[in-house]
Amino acid sequence: MLIDSHVNLHAPQFDEDRADVIERARAAGVALMVNISDKVSGFAAVRAVAEAPDIWCTVGTHPHEAKEDPDLSAQTLIDLAADPKVVGIGETGLDFHYDLSPRDIQARVFRAHVAAARETGLPLVVHTREADEVMAAILEEEYAAGPFRMLMHCYTSGADLARRAAALGAWFSVSGIATFKAAQDVRDVIADMPAERIIVETDCPYLAPVPQRGRRNEPAYLPHVLAKLAEIRGWSLVEAEARTEDAFFALFDRIPRP
């Protein structure tokens, strides 16, 4: 089973042909998708896409959007996560590359998501960019206060953060970036990720993999990501598909496994 663990199908880039995009994904063998919330205020649109039986969703606020609701409470997230179609908390985290929200607000909102993940038992979908040391410190501090499950989504950060997150039991998702010519450092980290905790994603409409790079990304391109993961890890395609499927259902355990 091919599973796209991170799609943004509610994004305006899909407004003209969303249904066609979803059908192309199914035709390409993608049997399940998780539509990711980028801000709590837009959750209704995220959830609407998840009305399809093979699409699930998360609830949360991306660090870019943290300034929108700097006092976001864990309880707000917990309440929204009561919806049985919600299978994760996030996308949340730290992005010190663009700094579209103040760093202290990013951290405060991120900690609210951690608390919600801890309370609900749902996995935390973590975005991290150019914030390795601060991210590692927060994850370790929060985990010491009470364990929670986490997914380091579209992981492109350093090897040290990867090791520290893996020590906390983190899962990792591989995206189309792994196919980019200049991304050998990313491939090196992927080669050392815990084999039983790797899943795949497109992060569509962003980060289309080679040979579709430069185009709008969509879930139908997921096989290119899986093929690159198999190459990096020395797995057959069949093995890569089975391993990532097992890892996905171990993490997103609110979703019934067919």
The verdict on residue 149 lying in a domain is yes
End-to-end CA, the chain: 10
The verdict on residue 80 lying in a domain is yes
Model-level pTM greater than 0.85?
yes
Count CA atoms closer than 13 A to 180's CA, side-chain side.
Answer: 13
- Whether 119 and 140 have beta carbons less than 8 Å apart is answered as no
What's the confidence (pLDDT) of residue 26? 98
The verdict on residue 8 lying in a domain is yes
Three-state DSSP class for residue 187: helix
Q: What's 112's domain CATH number?
A: 3.20.20.140
The verdict on residue 231 lying in a domain is yes
Whether the link from the prior residue into 205 is cis, omega within 30° of 0, is yes
What's the confidence (pLDDT) of residue 39? 98
Strand ranges of the sheet holding 30-35, from the earlier edge strand across to the other edge: 2-7, 30-35, 55-59, 86-95, 124-129, 150-152, 171-174, 198-200
Could you list the residue range(s) of the whole structural domain that residue 129 is in?
A: 2-251
What's the confidence (pLDDT) of residue 220? 98
Three-state DSSP class for residue 120: helix
What's the confidence (pLDDT) of residue 126? 99
Strand partners, 171: 151
Q: Which amino acid is at 136?
A: A
For residue range 39-81, list pLDDT tens digits in order. Answer: 999 999 999 999 999 999 999 999 999 999 999 999 999 999 9
What is the H or E stretch that residue 19 is in? helix 18-27
Low-confidence ranges of the chain (pLDDT < 50): none
The verdict on residue 46 lying in a domain is yes
The verdict on residue 258 lying in a domain is no
What's the confidence (pLDDT) of residue 46? 98
Cα 129 to chain centroid, rounded: 13
What is the H or E stretch that residue 1 is in? none
77 Cβ partners below 8 Å, 6+ apart? 40, 59, 60, 89, 112, 113, 116, 120
The verdict on residue 257 lying in a domain is no
The verdict on residue 256 lying in a domain is no
Question: In total, how many domains does the chain have?
Answer: 1
The neighbour count for residue 238, using CB atoms within 10 Å, is 9
**Burial readout 198-218 (b: 16 or more C-beta within 10 A, e: otherwise):** bbbbbbbbbbbbbebbeeebb
